[in-house]
């Protein structure tokens, strides 16, 4: 019998710190220095064969960074 686990990970941080870059690198093995700002929410799915009986579905939620009003 094979078990499936779903884990949801919320990736949060300030605007422009590289949240999307880290997620894209981990899930798709792609890196670019030219990403557009995330508007709203985006997510990616990574499926991991944890062991012979367990599959882990990892949902990585990319939350848009927000510009701090005190920085303006």
For residues 17 and 27, what is the distance between their CA atoms, to the nearest angstrom? 18
At 34-47, the pLDDT tens digits run: 777 777 788 899 99
pTM above 0.85, yes or no: no
pLDDT value, residue 32: 76
At 50-63, the pLDDT tens digits run: 999 999 999 999 88
Beta bridge partners of 42: 62
- The C-alpha angle with vertex 54 and arms to 26 and 59, in degrees rounded to 5, equals 35
């Amino acid at each position: 019998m094979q078990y499936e686990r779903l884990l949801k990970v919320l990736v949060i941080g300030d605007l422009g710190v590289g949240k999307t870059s880290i997620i894209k690198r981990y899930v798709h093995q792609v890196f670019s220095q030219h990403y557009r700002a995330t508007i709203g929410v985006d997510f990616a799915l990574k499926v991991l064969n944890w062991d012979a009986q367990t599959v882990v579905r990892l949902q990585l939620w990319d939350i848009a960074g927000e510009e701090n009003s005190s920085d303006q």
